[in-house]
Chain A
Amino acid sequence: MIRLLALFMLLALPAKAEEIVLGLSRDEVAITVTFQGSEIVVFGAVNRTAPPPQDSNLGVVVTIAGPREPVTVRRKARRMGIWVNTDAVFVNSAPSFYAVATSAPIAEILREIEDLRYRITIPRAIRSAGAVVEDSVAFTEALIRIKTDQDLYQMLEGAVTLDQDTLFRSAISMPANLIEGNYDVRIYLTRNGAVIDDYTTTIPVNKVGLERWLYNLAHEQAFIYGLLSLAIAVGAGWLASAVFSLLRR
């Protein structure tokens, strides 16, 4: 009876023809004192209930997005002979880290309209509200350029290997200058540029051990933290003086 009910429920679900089954090489990233960045391997398979259609091509897009934060982009201009910050554009929400890996050039596997809807590519992932400066596009481009130089934004076309239209795998390396928070890993499966399935999971990135302790102390017990910093400074200064006067004797 139960088995029959289960079977019935399974049939009643609007089953997708193709679905993502996902695995991650790690389920968290720990920032330790010697943290030098981390590589995350996203791998998985396409689960099918029917044979795949032959007349269309399959695409896989993997994105990893760090916690969102507001950013102010400032531009320098020459005023009275010196270069100073003049214009600024306030970006409401930009991911602190963002990597996009695809199985083929993005234009071939993702339509513009789908990109707009799911906010997949880097420019789409940045949200800026009513810009006051004329060429706000230049500011967004600058934001992407600076972040890309720091490896914080990565556009990795062709970095997803797709095996026999079923197994996929991608290694994304995250730099050492990460901030803490939950990093969203999203996988999009596309057919002829349209998203047919997507899957989301999160990887927490946390400071651990000494890093955690110092960070918490600095923010929760700022006064004690300040005293601790000073005590270290005073101690070190005195110690060096004492050691050197011993050496002179």
Chain B
Amino acid sequence: MLIYLPIAEVSVNAFLLLGLGGAVGVLSGMFGVGGGFLITPLLFFIGIPPAVAVATSTNQIVASSISGVLAHFKRKTVDLPMGMVLLVGGLIGSAIGIVIFNYLRALGQVDLLVQLCYVVFLGAIGMLMFVESLRAIRRARKPGALPQRRKHNWVHNLPFKMKFRVSGLYISVIPPILVGMLVGILAAIMGVGGGFIMVPAMIYLLGMPTKVVIGTSLLQIIFVAAFTTMLHATTNQTVDVLLALLLLIGGVIGAQIGTRIGVRMKAEQLRILLAIMVLVVCGKLAFDLLVMPSELYSLGPEGRS
């Protein structure tokens, strides 16, 4: 069934969008990622104009994250204070990100920046997580081996310390705020909630337990994505509500299923799966940048030459 999207001004298959939303929703609930880093390139691929794809996927992320976080709240795997601290950084970051995005859009280099961001971040994070999870799995297999003690590093020597009970942490608020800001900037530029950066940062930089990370990451993604949606809607008018609706119907259902799958899995398994997924997406994008494209030319609206 073809549906004409009022803002994107193209006509697309409704079932394709439902399926797309659903698949990404499952991943969202499982890993605590918004799924934007998958859905935005997929939307480009089916012919949605990039600006609309970026803005609309943030709206879809709001829906699937809410669906996922509610399931996590029931399991008490959300660290509310930590979420709020990350959020403060996130909101500052997404305001900065929107400014950068609009500036680059005028220059015609958005695609490049977005792709480079993806390749660099996805590649680095994916590799780190992959190696670390492999090591963790190997350790777990050795009988009698004790889990490694968390090391004290510079992160633990900063001022403004706060207690995060659910995560079992007593650390400074500065690292979470910085992590939040970085994620916020990327969220606005790349049309992603930033979960795929947030999740590893929380695990490795802040030392939070994997189970808590997913719910907390989703919680703060909701607000960052909602804020980004509003900014896109008011400054660029590029949020397509009909497109978002089709994506999120699939997304909210998928998120519920994903959460249930995630709970049954071990933390190391979850991390290694997320790492593989991140690496696959990264590989695809890197391939596109390195191999000569079949069409060298592209069309854009107005803008300076």
Contacts and interface: CB of A to CB of B under 8 A. Distances in A.
B6 A210 contact: yes
A219 B237 contact: yes
Nearest to B9: A179
Interface residues of A, number: 63
Interface stretch (A28-36, A112-120, A156-164): A28-36
B297 A146 contact: yes
B167 interface: no
Interface string A211-227: 11011001100110111
Contact of B244 (A211, A227, A233): A233
A245 B6 CA distance: 34
Contacts of A239: 252
Contacts, number: 193
B233 A226 contact: yes
A241 interface: yes
Given A71-B299, A226-B239, A240 B256 contact: yes
Contacts of A219: 237
A211 B305 contact: no
| Residue in B65, B67, B71, B232 whose Cβ sees the most chain A Cβ within 10 Å | B67
B298 A74 contact: yes
Interface string B1-42: 111101101110000000000000000000000000000000
Query: Interface size bucket, B side?
Result: 35 or more
A76 B293 contact: yes
A82 B6 contact: no
Contacts of A139: 297
B66 interface: yes
Nearest to A245: B74
Interface in B217-255: 226, 229-230, 232-234, 237, 239, 241-242, 244-245, 248-249, 252-253, 255
B interface secondary structure, majority: helix
A52 interface: no
Contact of B237 (A76, A83, A222, A244): A222
A176 B4 contact: yes
Nearest to B12: A176
A225 B239 CA distance: 9
B145 interface: no
A132 interface: yes
A84 B300 CA distance: 15
A31 B229 contact: no
Interface in B192-239: 226, 229-230, 232-234, 237, 239
B278 to A, nearest CB: 20
B4 A33 contact: yes
A85 B7 contact: no
Contacts of A71: 299-301
A74 B303 CA distance: 11
Given A88-B305, A89-B305, A240-B67, A230 B11 contact: no
A244 B71 contact: yes
Nearest to A149: B295
Contacts of B65: 237
Interface in A91-125: none
B6 A214 contact: yes
B252 A232 contact: no
A85 B108 contact: yes
B239 A234 contact: no
A240 B74 contact: no
A142 interface: yes
Interface string B37-72: 000000000010000000000011011111100110
Nearest to B242: A214
B292 interface: yes
Given A72-B301, A90-B305, A139-B297, A176 B11 contact: yes
Interface in A12-48: 31-37
Interface in B262-305: 288-293, 295-305
Given A83-B289, A240-B252, A229 B241 contact: yes
B123 to A, nearest CB: 14
Contacts of A147: 299
Contact of A232 (B232, B244, B288, B295): B244
Nearest to A147: B299
25 contacts: A34-B3, A70-B301, A70-B302, A72-B304, A73-B298, A74-B297, A85-B298, A88-B303, A142-B297, A143-B297, A177-B9, A178-B9, A210-B6, A218-B237, A218-B241, A226-B233, A229-B229, A233-B229, A236-B63, A237-B62, A237-B63, A237-B66, A239-B252, A240-B253, A241-B256
Given A74-B108, A225-B233, 17 more contacts: A34-B2, A72-B108, A72-B299, A74-B297, A74-B299, A85-B109, A88-B303, A207-B6, A215-B6, A218-B6, A222-B233, A230-B62, A234-B63, A237-B64, A237-B255, A240-B255, A240-B256
Q: Which 8 A-B pairs have the closest CB atoms?
A: A237-B66, A226-B233, A90-B305, A176-B11, A142-B297, A240-B252, A241-B70, A233-B63
